[in-house]
Structure 1
Amino acid sequence: MELKENTIVNSMPRIGDLAPDFDAVTTQGKIKFSDFASDKWIVMFSHPADFTPVCTTEMSGFATRKAEFDALNTQLLGLSIDSVHAHLGWVQNVRENTGVYFDFPIIADIDMKVSKLYGMLQPNESETAAVRAVFFIDPSKKIRLIMYYPLNVGRNMNEILRALEALQTSDEYKVAMPLDWKKGDSVIVPPPKTLDELNARLADNSVEKIDWYLAKKNLN
């Protein structure tokens, strides 16, 4: 029984899983995750602690580029193992010192419930601070992409936005993205699955064929 309980505590959500539900207190009030931003994508990200230097740069990055997430129909949701009072103090401190306002909810995960639920606590890194995790969650509450960074390495905001746009573009057009894809670049069309599809692909001049199994097209 003890092994089973430990397995549950240490389990980590995977790509394709439904995002675990939870209730939480945030800097913008209480939320129930299953009802939160029901028609939007969600980028949920954890940081180790308030009033720390790397976290301040990261949260400021999310705040200053919030309009780009808004344009992609995406709600930001932060988290750390600090009280809501610490969160509010930090938000105000950064606003006073830099003019940057963290205008998105930040979960006060003081009991570590959400951090444990999402595998944000990784004991070999720290037992008392969440690693820098990023969960990309679609409007159906399915986890689509996960990023993990250690405590001492900040995230890349350009990559977070690029990955989000790639996921949304892939869903809309049923295509895949090649290495280093960014908006405006050609996308990969699905490879043939039957001989008829193979013959059709060979005769198709509307796509750029590197070979029969690798073909690209421009969405513009």
Structure 2
Amino acid sequence: MASPAVDDYLKTIYHHTEWQDDRITPSQLAAELGLAPSSVTEMVQKLAAQGLVTHRPYGPIALTADGEQRAAAIIRRHRLIETWLVSEFDYSWDEVHDEAEVLEHALSDRLLEGIDVRLGRPLFDPHGDAIPDAAGHVHREPFVLLAEAEPGHAGRVLRVSDRDAEVLRAVEAAGVRVGAHVLVADASTLSIDGIDVPLPGAAIDAVWLTA
């Protein structure tokens, strides 16, 4: 079943466990995709029949090896395109997601490889999410969510979630960048170069630091 709809399901399941360990449930998947639970149940059954996911009624959903490989391939497309748009066309990091959603299904493998080469084969997209290589492998460092970091924790900003464009803009306005060295003053304040930077409340669940 080669289709954008299938890819969106696999991509959402893959993304759910990138930064935490709990597998996605059917209700969570329906909420993420904005679909009726009955539609999600039907599609998950089709994906299971194709050997792309494992699932038992009312239980969590997991990708099989084949499903993870296919999900990594579409995630790779999406994140390379985001990186390309920021690098080559001066898109801001809060603008690239919707554009990449369209382009990820349109670019040929040849063009995608050319983009990867031109960008120097980046390991991470503008938000800090890992870009899988052509074999589906990713590089990740140990991490901690800002909400769970203790005051006094020092590290680099690994990732800022792209789920909410408004939060992205607020975090950027505060001067927080992926790769910046920070010190946690409290859950809503980071110290950057000795200056305390207050963050919007939603940032505590949107910023990841090196552990």
Q: Is the TM-score greater than 0.5?
A: no
CA radius of gyration, larger in: 1
More helix by share: 2
Q: Which has the higher contact order (CA 8 A, sep 6+)?
A: 1
